[in-house]
Amino acid sequence: MIDRGVASVALVSAFARDGAVVVRGALSVEQLKLAEAGINAALADPSPLAITASRDDDPGSFVEDFRNWQRVEPIRVLALDAGLGALAATLMGSSTARLYHDHVLVKEPGTRQRTPWHQDQPYYDVDGAQTVSFWIPIDPVPADGSLEIVAGSHDGTWYTPRAFADEAAKWFPEGQLAELPDIDGDPEAHRVLRWALEPGDLVAFSMLAIHGAPGFVGPGRRRVLSLRYVGDDVVHAPRPWRTSPPFPELASDSGAGAGERALPAGAPLDHPLFPLVHPPARS
Ligand X SMILES: O=C(O)CCC(=O)C(=O)O
Which residues of this chain interact with ligand X, rule CB under 6 A?
103, 105, 115, 120, 133, 135, 147, 211, 213, 224, 226
User: Measured from the CB atom, is 39 or 277 closer to ligand X?
Assistant: 39
CB of 115 to ligand X, least distance (A): 3
The answer for residues whose C-beta is within 8 angstroms of residue 119's C-beta and 6 or more apart is 153, 154, 158, 159, 161, 207, 208, 209, 210, 211
Q: Are the C-beta atoms of 106 and 224 separated by less than 8 Å?
A: yes
C-alpha distances (whole Å) from 42 to each of 77, 154, 220 are 14, 30, 19
User: Measured from the CB atom, is 120 or 125 closer to ligand X?
Assistant: 120
CB of 144 to ligand X, least distance (A): 13
CB of 9 to ligand X, least distance (A): 26
Pairing state between β 222-230 and 97-107: antiparallel
User: Measured from the CB atom, is 103 or 262 closer to ligand X?
Assistant: 103
CB of 168 to ligand X, least distance (A): 18
Q: Are the C-beta atoms of 31 and 2 separated by less than 8 Å?
A: yes
CB of 73 to ligand X, least distance (A): 22
Q: Is the peptide bond prior to 140 cis by the omega test (within 30 degrees of 0)?
A: no
- Mutual orientation of helices 84-92 and 9-18 as an angle, nearest 10°? 60
User: Measured from the CB atom, is 94 or 121 closer to ligand X?
Assistant: 121
User: Measured from the CB atom, is 148 or 262 closer to ligand X?
Assistant: 148
